[in-house]
Chain A
């Protein structure tokens, strides 16, 4: 009998079970994996930053007595009617088509109750979201699905989408199973076919052209509403500078944790920069142009809590935008649908086949039976509550740092837990006065 002690089976750190399962899936199907959501890999994030709080050298504001303002105005550069928001958290663009009409309505309801804006998406503006959104940002996308001057003029702002964090440089694909009669009608395409959203705009090729496009949109809308330019987190310094040069009122900067309705997993996980790495270069660009705060910066991609909001603002953003978190607040990936997630081969929290249209929560679907599961009023209230909590959390931190407005938060209020975060955020590594790349005096 062999008495040799057995060694424990050792799994490879390179060929993990997850990696191996993807290799087997690819070998079986011959096609890359498509999914929704943003990057799932661990990247340096706001969790790697901490606030210092007030001490002897700074004094805090009383948590329940002293005012800490959260209002933000977007579009002060050129627009006659800038957007006034009560909170520095907006709802990001998500399309009708990728989302059900009920979900779009719920986003509008929740945002309106919380005093903020929501945003259309690829596929045009629906009556549900216009009707329930006091402030609605109309996305101007490469596909131009549903684009028309009437909707353009009844928007409260226009967001020219150059890219998004989940897939900078990439377009999109809405698969045929989500193309109902209504979705197809809005997009001028046949029912049931895959609908490609182009990766670049059809009628311009660079920043000089974009400047003229912005002029055209302003002329069509009478210079009334702000024009945002949204970019994915790729080259934030130059993209921000070029957007400003082109005439943007607001720059929306979306890091790689920002979600998408459907894109290749390899794209989501391997293209673009973490949100944390994008903010300081963008702020630097605005400062170099002398336009920080005059052109507002909205940051998105992985914003989950009031702490994330406060950290983004402290690094120089004027507001943040949420997408994935808003869907979770509506009811996405709720454990109560666990049996149905299991039937789809997944589990709550991990469900990301949003493109297939079989969402048990009734959010990323066009199936009328599934969509009925989402009560827009109740879901809107949940979103309102969540936005309120985030705002209160952000205020709590701001007061602890002695700030009477959340915009008064600053990098000096922060330290970093890791070298990577310190380098990206340009704040000191905790316990030191140093970060990688800090200029030597």
Chain B
């Protein structure tokens, strides 16, 4: 286990060390001590390593992550795992706004709640939130899956493209062009896999699925009042 103490090291040194790990590194286990809410912690990683961040972070923790597994034992600020390519990011606490924004792959597993705009413009990432999510989540979400074990705030899935949204609790309101859809067997299977990967204690049958009505895919003046 390699330790990086941010009480003694600059952010640049911490990130540079982790970013320098090669595909075949033997040093696969890392701990970041004393993050103290720092921004841009463990960003741009691209190796099959495991990084445990002991504490809470600021903005953009694990941004653009690829391959790595980043585990934050506290809570995270805005934009956690933004534009993630692959790998896994696990948050034991809560996540602020824009969690998983524009993410393209991998799994973002938030054990607490996520604030507004969770999964905004997501492009292939899987996001599992064990608690609730805030308003305007999955805004313009393009691809991937957002699973919410709790409740969703206002305007879920506004201007949604092809991302799939699964919510177990209540949805305060749906955004433009987002509708409830039939939960077919393939969705139950997909959801079961996501829940298992996230270690979530829930059954797929307890969820509702939401997706795009696809009415706004081509601009039509008769739909202008839906915006």
Contact = CB atoms under 8 A, between A and B. Distances in A.
Contacts of B124: 188
Given A144-B83, A204-B78, A189 B142 contact: yes
B99 to A, nearest CB: 9
B189 to A, nearest CB: 23
A103 to B, nearest CB: 25
Contact of A149 (B60, B64, B123): B64
Contacts of A190: 161-162, 217
A216 B121 contact: no
Nearest to A221: B44
Interface stretch (B8-16, B165-173, B180-188): B8-16
A90 B37 CA distance: 39
A203 B15 contact: no
A196 interface: yes
B84 to A, nearest CB: 10
Contact of A147 (B59, B66, B79, B83): B83
Nearest to A223: B12
Nearest to B11: A219
A202 B78 contact: no
B129 to A, nearest CB: 17
B123 A216 contact: no
B43 A219 contact: yes
A427 B142 CA distance: 50
Given A148-B85, A194-B219, A188 B123 contact: yes
A228 to B, nearest CB: 19
Interface of B: 11-12, 15-16, 19, 39-40, 43-44, 46, 58-60, 63-64, 66, 78-79, 82-83, 85, 97-98, 101-102, 104, 117, 120-121, 123-124, 139-140, 142-143, 159, 161-162, 217-219, 221
Contacts of B120: 202-203
A222 interface: yes
A348 interface: no
A173 B142 CA distance: 15
A304 interface: no
A203 B121 CA distance: 10
- B interface, over-half SS: loop
B102 A144 contact: yes
Contacts of B139: 202
Interface in A116-156: 143-144, 147-149, 152
A391 B218 CA distance: 44
Interface of A: 29-31, 143-144, 147-149, 152, 173, 175-176, 187-190, 193-194, 196, 198, 202-204, 209, 212-213, 215-216, 219-223
Contacts of B11: 219
A147 B19 contact: no
A152 B123 CA distance: 17
Given A190-B162, A203-B98, A203-B120, A220 B44 contact: yes
A189 B161 contact: yes
B121 A198 contact: yes
Contact of B44 (A176, A193, A219): A219
Contacts of A209: 59, 78
B11 to A, nearest CB: 7
B87 to A, nearest CB: 12
Contacts of B79: 203-204, 216
Given A203-B102, A216-B43, A220-B43, A144 B121 contact: yes
A424 B15 CA distance: 46
A215 B140 contact: no
Nearest to A176: B218
A203 B40 contact: no
Nearest to A147: B83
Contact of A193 (B78, B102, B117, B217): B217
Contacts of B218: 176, 193-194
A134 to B, nearest CB: 25
A216 B221 contact: no
Nearest to A142: B121
